[in-house]
Amino acid sequence: MKTGTGTPPVVSDIPTKEKIVFVTFDDGAEKDPKFVTMMGELKIPFTMFLTDVSIRSDYDYFKPLQELGNPIMNHTLTHPNLRTESESAQRHEICTQQTKLKAEYGTTPRLFRPPYGNLNEATKTAAKSCGLQALILWRESMQIKGMQYQRADKKLHPGDIILAHFRGPSELKGTSMTEMTANLLREISHQGFTVARLEDYV
């Protein structure tokens, strides 16, 4: 990706004609061992955007997922609505999480996802000053059984980025994270798409 003197791009989909989509999991609250087993067997690539308050009870949970080749990226320290924060507060949220993730997982994140998808110009400036190369949003978000679409045609499009979360039965009305993920992958393949690795494209 080209990096110039401007602020990092905001990316919700990747320009491509291939029938590929990208899967991302956010926050990190749910730590279901069965999800690790499942993703180890399926070998579907995904990107994790992790928030310190959600993962600090068990940083180690995410290490086997990372060892499968799935990168860990930045989703702030405490998950605030950045639009209501000053630039220096935003920088603290983003840069401190960069340092923590590097210390815990050994690699410095390149990509940033603002909580709730909320951002302003200060977010881009802050993210850049923390060394981040792109702000990643999404086109679809995975709910318990089906996807929520931003476009009126309610279909996946080539290059779409899909948002999902580390959520468990208490937040999914009894559905487990592995069931939700199975529903997600079934819907992707039902629409004729395969899952590609986001970091190969951005």
Residues that bind Zn ion in the complex, under the rule CB under 5 A: 26-27, 115
**Which run of H or of E encompasses 48?**
strand 47-50
Cβ 114 to Zn ion, closest distance in Å? Answer: 9
Q: Which residue is nearest to Zn ion (CB)?
A: 26
Q: Could you tell me the two tokens for 60?
A: 């180690």
How far apart CA 108 and CA 105 sit, in angstroms, is: 8
Q: Could you tell me the two tokens for 70?
A: 């799935």
In this complex, which beta carbon is closest to Zn ion, that of residue 1 or of residue 53? 53
How far apart CA 17 and CA 8 sit, in angstroms, is: 24
Cβ 27 to Zn ion, closest distance in Å? Answer: 4
In this complex, which beta carbon is closest to Zn ion, that of residue 116 or of residue 200? 116
In this complex, which beta carbon is closest to Zn ion, that of residue 115 or of residue 159? 115
Question: Beta strands 20-27 and 194-195: pairing type?
Answer: parallel
Q: What is the largest CA-CA distance in the chain?
A: 48
Cβ 160 to Zn ion, closest distance in Å? Answer: 18
Cβ 139 to Zn ion, closest distance in Å? Answer: 16
In this complex, which beta carbon is closest to Zn ion, that of residue 109 or of residue 115? 115
